[in-house]
Chain A
Amino acid sequence: MRIAVCVKHAVDETELKIDSGGKPLLSGATSRMSTFDKNAVEEGLRLKAAHQGEVVIFTVGPSDSKKTMKEALAMGADKGVLVTADTTSIDTMRTASLLAAAIKKAGPFDVVLCSEGSSDTYSGQVPPMLGEMLGAAFTGYARKLEVNGQTARVERSLEDSLEVVEAPLPVVASVVSEINEPRYPTLIQIMQAGKKPLEELNGDQLQPAGAYRQASVVSMSAQQSARKHVMIEGSPDEAAAKLVEALIREGVLSK
């Protein structure tokens, strides 16, 4: 079985600094593998363990994304394909079309996995776009995934229901983090990851931009928070009484 896993080298939101003018300092910000992508890599490795084959990691991003790809390779993936592009200026559809082109070039694949959304922008658009572009079945928010012969059986976790679906291979699926517990690579695996094949493709050469107007970010500013930050002191009984009093005064607690 050939398994493709798409991962994103995303700005670590916990480390992101804001300048004195209230603008996020994106250039030079620390990036790492988008949090939920580890679950997609883990699920790819789990499928490989059950069905043999190989796991290929795909990323669209700057050259620095190799760090994230090496982390996926250290977890156990076999090789990586990096499509270089300036991810600060492209939209979800352009990202998906670059991934689709790279996956087609290295294909065919039986299963293509993504996480439900990236930790930086959390659009959740690239996985279904990929399904459309590859002409493959797509199913999102998988919390369980099994392949039997040429059919994938997926439990989808929706807001208020659980849905079981079946789809023919090839299938593109996005996974939720409940699907598994990602492994930690060992020191030896981390050292060996540097020796695994990592191909680099230029995005513009791989796939020229499509004939549509891309969605764009016009400006970014820090979220304004106007919280009161009142710390209530005293014994548990005193503090609790003061809190309840304050909440009633705020009009958010009925007596």
Chain B
Amino acid sequence: MSGAVWSYSENESVSNEVASAAADVAKGASAEPVVLEIGAVRAGVRAPGAKLLLKGPATSDVPPEVAAEAIAKASKQLQPAAILIGATRYGREIASRLAVKLTVGCLSEVSKLSADGNALAGERNAFAGKVVAKVSCALPAIATVKVGYYAAVESAGTAVTESDVGQVNPLVKVVSREKKAAGAVDLRSAKVIVSAGRGVKKKEDLPMLEELAREMHGALGCSRPLSSDLGWLPEEHHIGLTGVTVKPDLYLALGISGQLQHTAGMKDSKVVAAVNTDKDAPIFQASDYGIVGDLYQIVPAIRKALASRR
């Protein structure tokens, strides 16, 4: 393999993760990892190695349609061997558009990336995490990189080269963008996650679990019904296939049955403990420690046990 391995994410911390993936792919091959920036260099993008600034868009806050067009233009000119994009909601669109614009194959949601001869290789989950697939695509190739898998490596002050990609006029116009509700949690960085499921009978009972999460120095997550169907918690608390993927030190599942679409989002947790009234609930198959019981009795008991140790 020769040429560069490009990495990009619109999200600064994900950008640092994807840069680590690009470094892995470039290692052992005669390739150079290059971090892409579009419009402007961002302070939070601190991966070591070269940066390539695509000039044209006025700011670094670019929608996916613009990012894809800018990267495609630069790519046609500079011919990178591989382009890695963080698998965020924006990132999946950027990578997919790029694949069509450049007519090259595109892997998705990949981790453990490497250069395998003349191909880009890696692993991904399938069937809601029941199966691991080894995947490959001949170079030049594109991949979306699973978020939360690679550790970011930070260093300051790297060389920036520039490439002018000109103006891009998107079909889709952004009318407004607002942060989701205040107090938004960052589940991906939480060491402990207390997670609530349908075993919680009413919204008014959630503060009890929030208290427990606080006492455990953790954050509160939930399964899909609580956020999407019932609307008791904002969507960013939703852990699962279509929500956030987490891997905390401790995942405490309270009243969660443990359907595959939920466990797909938490199966890489270091230790999993579960409380459920149904002894046959699938969550116990995905747990290290299980208590068959009513969370309304167990949660106060856990809080008491924690308090007695202080």
Q: CB within 8 Å of B: which residues of A?
A: 11, 13-14, 16, 18, 24, 35-36, 91-93, 96, 116-117, 119-129, 131-133, 136-141, 153, 156-168, 176-178, 210-223, 225, 227-232, 236-237, 239-241, 243-244, 246-248, 250-255
Complex Cα distance, B304 from A239, in Å, reads 12
Write the nearest CB–CB distance from B95 to chain A, whole angstroms.
Answer: 7
Known: A13-B127, A160-B184, A239-B298. A36 touches B96 (CB 8 A): no
Q: CB within 8 Å of A: which residues of B?
A: 11, 64-65, 88-90, 92-93, 95-97, 99-101, 103-109, 121, 124-138, 141, 144, 171-180, 184, 191-192, 216-217, 224, 228, 235-236, 241-242, 244, 249-250, 259-261, 267, 270-273, 284-294, 297-298, 300-302, 304-306, 309-310
Known: A220-B126, A229-B285, A230-B290. A125 touches B172 (CB 8 A): no
Residue of A nearest to B238 (CB): A178
Tell me whether B141 and A252 are in contact (CB under 8 A): no
Complex Cα distance, B138 from A211, in Å, reads 12
Write the nearest CB–CB distance from A181 to chain B, whole angstroms.
Answer: 8
Complex Cα distance, B172 from A107, in Å, reads 21
Number of A-B contacts (CB under 8 A): 265
Question: Can you give 17 contacting A-B residue pairs, CB < 8 Å?
Answer: A24-B131, A91-B106, A96-B100, A123-B92, A123-B109, A129-B97, A129-B100, A136-B171, A138-B93, A159-B11, A159-B244, A210-B103, A230-B290, A232-B291, A236-B294, A236-B300, A243-B302
CB-contact partner of B272 in A116, A167, A210, A227, under 8 A: A227
Tell me whether A217 and B127 are in contact (CB under 8 A): no
CB-contact partner of A166 in B11, B173, B249, under 8 A: B173
Tell me whether B103 and A211 are in contact (CB under 8 A): yes
Write the nearest CB–CB distance from B211 to chain A, whole angstroms.
Answer: 15
Complex Cα distance, B135 from A225, in Å, reads 21
Tell me whether A140 and B92 are in contact (CB under 8 A): yes
In the complex, chain B residues whose CB is within 8 Å of the CB of A246 = 289
In the complex, chain B residues whose CB is within 8 Å of the CB of A153 = 175
Tell me whether A163 and B176 are in contact (CB under 8 A): yes
CB-contact partner of A212 in B105, B244, B294, under 8 A: B105
Write the nearest CB–CB distance from B50 to chain A, whole angstroms.
Answer: 27
Write the nearest CB–CB distance from B296 to chain A, whole angstroms.
Answer: 9
